[in-house]
Amino acid sequence: MIWYIVTDSEENYHRSPAFHNHKLVLERFAKDCCLVLHYKQVNHKLFIEHKPWVICHSGGSAMYDDYDVLQTEEYCNCIKEWNVPQIGFCGGHQIISTQFGSKIGPLRQLKPNEPDLNPNYCPGQLKEWGIYPVQI
């Protein structure tokens, strides 16, 4: 079983169909079932019962300081203490990094004449969009 943990606000978790679409993609590629959980639903008892072989952490559109994802103890323990491969998509990798000492914040303000690739989201801030190679 795959766990796909939605790290967005509860409001966005309940209203966005995108998380279900992500579930379907994960199931198709992994050829296994995927359980979608909001980060507030994550607990060790459920982890022991389900025995997921991988945990995927979503990104989200809410700003991290607007809700308690970084202060939810059971969820943070999942990242630090559970011995299972984990990957974060988009902001999910930033959340994972905080549990190992990193800080989350804006990249930087745009330079003069630098294009804003998505002016409806954090206008004036540099944003990275797309898929990039990762080396481990």
- What integer is the mean pLDDT of 73-95? 92
Q: Does residue 130 have a pLDDT over 90?
A: no
Average pLDDT, the chain: 90
Q: What is the CATH number of the domain that holds 14?
A: 3.40.50.880
pLDDT of residue 131: 74
pLDDT of residue 1: 97
- What integer is the mean pLDDT of 80-107? 90
Q: What is the DSSP string of 54-115?
A: EEEE---SS-GGGSSGGG-HHHHHHHHH--S-EEE-THHHHHHHHTTT-------BPPTT--
- What integer is the mean pLDDT of 5-32? 94
Q: For residue 123, is it within any domain?
A: no
Q: Does residue 136 have a pLDDT over 70?
A: no
- The parent domain of residue 79 ranges over 2-98
Q: For residue 52, is it within any domain?
A: yes
Number of domains in the chain: 1
Q: For residue 107, is it within any domain?
A: no
